[in-house]
Structure 1
Amino acid sequence: MTDRASPPTRRVVEILDFLARHPHDRFGVSELARRTGQSKPTCLGIVGTLAESGYLVRDSQDKTYRLGPSLISLGHIAQESLRVSPAAREELRRLSSQYDTTASLAAIVDERITLLELVGPPGSDVGVRAGQSYPFAPPVGLMFVLWDDDALRDWLAREPTIPLRTDSDRLDRVVAECRATGYLVERQTAGGRRLYALMAGMSNTLPQELRALLGELISDVGERVYLPGEAGSSRQKHDISVISAPVYDHYRRQAMVVSLRIGRALTDAEIARHAKGLMVTAHTLTVQLGGH
């Protein structure tokens, strides 16, 4: 990270980020200035320039601003540069429709887990959006390294985001079974549901207070992983958060992760049916990347 930050640029980013967090609302200059901690003249100059370029839209009647159409093309170009093609988005739409839930595609961008695309049923809101990112360090990010020994070793060597304990025997079993099946199943827990919401947008160096709180939520690598037959009868239902599978590039390296958000209880047979459809999508996306 560079120390040569630009305060004027930061102020522009603050306004865009604020409006992105409120995509259905419009704000006047006074409120924008107050909500972003800027002076009104500075804010007025920024939003005026952004509106002239189409990055914001100004309502001439009530003099409020919202995100503009130039950001649409900019976002599509950014996705294309990260290898999220229209064909990939269509595959996520197909997967989402097949299971009536949200399908997503994520990758490691600039050493952070970044959500590249998200497709869900009409009217659904999973509380995250494309472009959000999270620190890539234990215990977060296992699905991005699970299928590569070198990547897994490097990831485990990173400074953890929270204090950790590691059950090596269970982690070895998680690695072996997930590689055998080709997918990863994560349990849905109260702590897990809060984890990503707390970490979204955070830097890799978290405040000590937040580290302590997260340590109460999850403190073991692979703790949230569910292994079929691990608890009770195969007919028993288990609260499942997400099922994920790797996408590979032409170097035979994992490039992305495609995930199916579950958010409800499934039997082992139901988990397997969801995973089957997910892996078809993972294979198709791999082929689209020219991967193996």
Structure 2
Amino acid sequence: MGRPSPQTDRLLDLVDLMVERPDEGLALAEIARALNVAKATVHPMVTTLTRRGWLLRHPERHTYRLGPALVAAGRAAARGHVVVDAARPVVREIVDETGLPCLVLVAGAIPGEYDDLLVGEIVQPSARHAREWAAGRPGTGYHCLRLGDRIPPRPPLGAVCVAWSDDPGAVGRWLDRLGEDRPPDALEQIAPGLASVRERGWALEVENRLHERLKTLARELGEDRRSEKHAATLHGMLGEIVRAFDLADTLPPTVEPGARYRPTSVNAPVFDASGAVTVALCMICSSGAPGDPAWSGTDVIELGERVRAAADAVTAATHGRPPESRRL
């Protein structure tokens, strides 16, 4: 892996800052303050970016905002991945049918960090279709993501990428992303779920939100000196939860039509010519709010088959092929 380049990081941080605040003109001092660097460090960067058309400088206010050269760069980037390009119309169709947002996640796009996923496309439902879905189905939403965002696939996210991997260490590295939450028998717990992903061709992911909320609460209590005893007690409870936590619950090995589920997403893989996962279609099923209603197993299966069919269509359109295990 190459050596880090702080100057390059600062330049990209500057562009990211302008992308996050597209409707605001930022003065040099505001940019420097947001990046936590000196104005003298920022000045040559904004000068060069302005000269190249990546930024525009207001002649009177002396503020900067995104420039027209980025429009051409964005259009070129949008056409830069054949599979993402082929996925757009297919994903748009399933999003319009279901009223659910969909992420097109690119696998292996980051050199040296092949386990991470990149957001290649975000397709949102129209307001009309979203209302139609919400009238008889669970509400939906998704966290604030942008094109190009990098997502570390913490289990169960990423199951569709590792289920078919020929690398014996891939599942282990994926489970290592659980950190201290990884159960001692994590591989044994998750193996049936991964086998079912290979058999069905799609993954149902269910997040353990209670565990995450308790961790957040313990951290907040720990920051408050008055609550140190409460934090210690809660950390002890968390230890018990981790020991009792069944990782298999986040990647159910079976989906029963009559059962109820609280899915965060339903995913299916797109394969390249070698049979490796190159893109994952990720249908977002939850708003992330505690009150999200449960889904019936029938609805989950219906969505899973739709997403699998969409992913298979993209695989075929881009001359990919399923791995041997899918063709048996």
- Quote the Cα distance in structure 2 between the aligned partners of 1:146 and 1:257: 12
Instruction: Classify 1:59/1:90 alpha carbon distance in 2 versus 1 (closer, same or farther; 3 Å).
Output: farther
Gap change, CA 1:96 and 1:23, over 3 Å in 2: farther
Q: How far off its partner does 1:136 sit?
A: 5.2
Q: Which runs of 5+ in 1 are unaligned?
A: 195-211
C-alpha distance in 2 between matches for 1:100 and 1:87: 20
Aligned runs of 1:98-137 on 2, under 5 Å? 98-106=97-105, 107-110=107-110, 111=114, 112-122=116-126, 126-135=143-152
TM-score, structure 1 as length reference: 0.78
Whether contact under 8 Å (1:171, 1:221) holds in the other structure is: yes
Aligned counterparts of 2:157 and 2:309: Cα–Cα separation in 1: 25
Amino acid at match of 2:108: I
Map 1:42-61; keep pairs closer than 5 Å: 42-61=41-60
Superposition pairs for residues 88-103 of structure 1, below 5 Å?
A: 88-103=87-102
The SS at the match of 2:278 is strand
Local SS of the residue matching 2:263: strand
Residue in 1 aligned with 2:251?
225
Alpha carbons of structure 1 residues 74 and 193: separation in structure 2 relative to 1, 3 Å: farther
Greater mean alpha carbon deviation, residues 168-177 or residues 247-256:
168-177
TM-score scaled by structure 2?
0.71
Alpha-carbon contact 2:83-2:314 (below 8 Å) kept: no
Letter in 1 for 2:315: T
Where 2:264 maps in the other structure, the secondary structure is: strand
Corresponding residue of 2:160: 143
Q: Kindly indicate whether residue 239 of structure 2 is the aligned counterpart of residue 182 of structure 1.
A: no
Q: Which has the higher helix share?
A: 2
Larger Rg: 2
Amino acid of the residue matched to residue 224 of structure 1? Answer: T
What pairs with 1:1-16 in structure 2 (closer than 5 Å)? Answer: 1-3=1-3, 5-16=4-15
The alpha-carbon deviation at position 243 of structure 1 amounts to: 0.2
In the other structure, the counterpart of 1:206 is none
RMSD: 3.0
Q: State the alpha-carbon separation in 2 of the partners of residues 73 and 141 from structure 1.
A: 32
Partner of 2:315: 286
CA contact (8 A) 1:113 1:135 kept: yes
Gaps of 5+ in 2: 128-140, 214-234, 287-291, 322-328
SS in 2 for 1:48: helix
Structure possessing the higher relative contact order (Cα contacts under 8 Å, 6 or more residues apart): 2
Separation (CA, whole Å) in 2 of partners of 1:244 and 1:47: 41
Relative to structure 1, the CA distance from residue 252 to residue 72 in structure 2 (aligned partners, 3 Å threshold; closer, same or farther) is same
CA contact (8 A) 2:266 2:284 kept: yes
Structure 1 counterpart SS, 2:108: strand
- Aligned equivalent of 1:154: 169
Aligned residues: 267
Question: Higher strand fraction: Structure 1 or Structure 2?
Answer: 1
> 2:319 matched to 1:267?
no
The offset of 1:283, in angstroms, is: 1.2
